Structure 1
Amino acid sequence: MNEPQKEWINKSIITEINERNVMWTEQQNNPEREELREKFITKRHKIIKLIRETKKSYYKKEFDKYSGKPKKLWNLLNTLTNNKFKQRCAPPKLIVNSIEVTDPHEICNIFNNFFATIGPYLADEIPIQFHVNYTHALPKPLLQNLQMNSLEPCTEEEILNIINKLDSNSSVGLDGVSTKVF
């Protein structure tokens, strides 16, 4: 008899599987006997149901055990799904300017350099008219409503409503002030 491979496999499942295997062998040796085939199919369905119920019960107990403990729950999920985090995150090789690079530190430096310089490079590629006059990039209907000839007075309540609608988890604006300060 084989020992359990998974935590949810128990002695009754193994016993049922062994009985089913004996029935299968018997049925294969006597293919003309329909009653053996039917007994085998019935046993097979019984084992499938037993395995499903046992697995369901096992996983429910495991999840209930870590209810309210997210870190342990994620560890459980990673264990159950066989998620293995790889030590190395760099690709094994990288080809840059027809040169193959295999040193992980050098590959990381190449990626770092690329992402550190791509922003200014792309900004330089934007046509100059957009730097000088951003209205070229705006749709025409929006331009017509952009006139700010006069500012109307507002109430303290309007300002408070606007502040209360701000997302406190958003990053700071151009002024460097966090919305949490407001």
Structure 2
Amino acid sequence: MPSILLCPQDTAVFTREYLNGWYSLSAYYASKLTSDLPMLLICPTLFTTIIYIMTSQPDVFARFAMCWGVSLILAIVGHFMGLAFGSTFDLQMAILLVPGLSIPFMIFSGFFIRIHELSAIFRPLCDISFYRYTMEALMQAIYGYDRPDLECHVEFCYFKSPSKLLKELDMLGDLYGHDSGITN
């Protein structure tokens, strides 16, 4: 949301300074991204660290690094959406459009409705949902890669095996590389 709110103010200043010939468009965006970079790194790092520790995930740095990488990618995508909508539309329209367009992406992420249960008409919406790829990559980072059975303090625990949980969510196989954009 801050990206959306700051765009109209930045646009007015940039337009005046650009027309005066003080700097180019590429120099402006390079400086803008450089100034936004600390927050783009700090927020996902704090979020991932707190959530990873509070949910008692294994003390394996590779798993934490994969979760952090996915959180960082999601933060960058969110920042880009804010910049794109904030610079394209007026403030009120951008504030209405971003959450309104994010909701279908969340619904078709596979978290609320499993992808194989959807009608064939709606499956392409799952393919363009960046929340789907984020969720799949996080699930693979946390429960994939031959993670040992989970602790269970009751007699019967259906999801004690992480692979059973991933199978139930239709996330078997190595999806992390594909979902995080590392491999095809």
Which TM bucket (shorter chain)?
under 0.3
Q: TM-score, normalised on structure 2?
A: 0.26
Q: TM-score, normalised on structure 1?
A: 0.26
The structure carrying a bigger helix percent of its residues is: 2
Q: Which has the larger radius of gyration?
A: 1
Instruction: Answer 1 or 2: higher relative contact order, Cα 8 Å, separation at least 6.
Output: 2
